[in-house]
Amino acid sequence: MDKRIFVEKKADFQVKSESLVRELQHNLGLLSLKSIRIVQVYDVFDLAEDLFASAEKHIFSEQVTDHVLDEAAVQADLTNYAFFAIESLPGQFDQRAASSQEALLLLGSSSDVTVNTAQLYLVNKDIEATELEAVKNYLLNPVDSRFKDITTGIAKQEFSESDKTIPKLTFFESYTAEDFARYKAEQGMAMEVDDLLFIQDYFKSIGRVPTET
């Protein structure tokens, strides 16, 4: 059986989403951003139907801190919020998905079970379009993630031809020193920001952008 599971922190435990709003308001100077809800999405494939209830309760959520949302409630939320979702690129290691699959094996699932994860962001509906785009660009790391169409049905990740080619780091063209500082921290790079700016200048001088290799 395949199923999409939505999990959100209860009101008293939404520290991450509240902190994110403050971070975005401060770093991007956003005026129309008022609230963000973060919903963890699990696309679960080939799990025996009789294991789903236990999996939702013991693996995909914590009873004290989390709510498991039904799909009808989420669909209603999509009409009341501006929204977008982010998932790992196909083939990119997803620690949350890997941990879930290991836990499902302990629960008694077959080894055929797979899990894909994503984060759904529900933003106050009256946010300005330009500010919503700024939020999306701030949260997406194009090196390892992509936007997910949360309005379509559940489906396993497919490797497209573009996934098989070496990705070009087109964002290098426009990144500022602050952008590179964040990128450096996210990627755990030993390279300094000045080194990244030097690489940026070099590739601009030859009219190209770097690739992942």
* Four-residue CA torsion sign, 8, 11, 16, 18: positive
Q: Which of 119, 95, 109 is nearest to 43 (CA)?
A: 119
Give the pLDDT mean for 168-176.
73
Give the pLDDT mean for 166-188.
73
Share of the chain above pLDDT 90, in %: 56
CA distance 168 to 209: 7
pLDDT at 209: 61
Starting at the edge strand that comes first in sequence, how are the strands of the sheet with 145-148 ordered? Answer: 66-69, 3-9, 36-45, 114-124, 81-88, 145-148
Per-residue buried b or exposed e for 122-148, using 16+ beta carbons within 10 Å of the residue's own CB: bbbeebeeebbebbeebbebeebbbeb
**27-84 residue pLDDT tens:** 999 999 999 999 999 999 999 999 999 999 889 998 899 999 999 999 999 999 999 9
pLDDT at 207: 73
CB 143 within 8 A of CB 187: yes
CB atoms within 10 A of CB 180: 22
More confident residue, 201 or 25: 25
Provide the residue ranges of all domains of the chain, joining segments of one domain with +.
Answer: 3-160, 166-205
Share of the chain above pLDDT 70, in %: 87
Where does the pLDDT of residue 162 fall: very low under 50, low under 70, confident under 90, or very high at 90 and above?
very low
**91-117 residue pLDDT tens:** 888 889 988 998 898 888 888 999 999
Going by C-beta distance under 8 Å and a sequence separation of 6 or more, which residues neighbour residue 37? 8, 14, 17, 77, 81, 121, 122
pLDDT at 213: 44
Distance of CA 118 to the CA centre of its chain: 5
CB atoms within 10 A of CB 25: 14
pLDDT at 191: 62
Q: How far is CA 47 from CA 2, 20, 30, 93, 136, in A?
A: 7, 33, 42, 21, 32
More confident residue, 64 or 196: 64
pLDDT at 188: 61
pTM: 0.74
Q: What are residue 207's phi and psi, to 5 degrees?
A: 70, 35
**3 pLDDT more than 70:** yes
Please give the mean pLDDT across all residues of the chain: 87
CB 131 within 8 A of CB 32: yes
